[in-house]
Amino acid sequence: DGGITQSPKYLFRKEGQNVTLSCEQNLNHDAMYWYRQDPGQGLRLIYYSQIVNDFQKGDIAEGYSVSREKKESFPLTVTSAQKNPTAFYLCASTENRDSQETQYFGPGTRLLVL
Amino acid sequence: EDQVTQSPEALRLQEGESSSLNCSYTVSGLRGLFWYRQDPGKGPEFLFTLYSAGEEKEKERLKATLTKKESFLHITAPKPEDSATYLCAVLNSGYALNFGKGTSLLVTP
Whether residue B100 lies within 8 A of chain A, CB to CB, comes out as yes
Rounded Cα gap, residues A100 and B34, in angstroms:
11
How confident is the model at residue A22, as a pLDDT? 98
| Chain B partners within 8 Å of A40 (Cβ) | 101
B61-79 average pLDDT score: 97
Instruction: Please tell me the predicted confidence (pLDDT) of residue B29.
Output: 83
- The span from the CA of A43 to the CA of B100, in Å, is 8
- Residue closest to B100 by CA, chosen among B12, B27, B18: B27
User: Residue A15 burial (CB < 10 Å; 0-12/13-18/19+)?
Assistant: exposed
Interface test with A, best of B45, B97, B101, B104 (most A CBs within 10 A): B97
> Is A90 at the interface with chain B, CB within 8 A?
yes
Average pLDDT of each block of 10 consecutive residues along chain A (114 residues)? 90 91 95 93 92 93 97 96 93 75 92 90
Question: Tell me, what's the pLDDT at A97?
Answer: 58
> What one-character-per-residue DSSP string does B16-42 give?
T--EEEEEEEE-SS--EEEEEEE-TTS
The number of beta carbons lying within 10 Å of the beta carbon of residue B106 is: 13
- pLDDT tens for residues A42-73? 899 999 998 899 999 999 999 999 999 999 99
Count Cα atoms within 13 angstroms, Cβ side, for B16: 1
> Nearest CB to B96: which of A6, A58, A100?
A58
Could you read off the pLDDT of B20-53 as tens digits, one per residue? 999 999 988 888 999 999 999 999 999 999 999 9
Quick one: pLDDT at residue A95?
A: 76
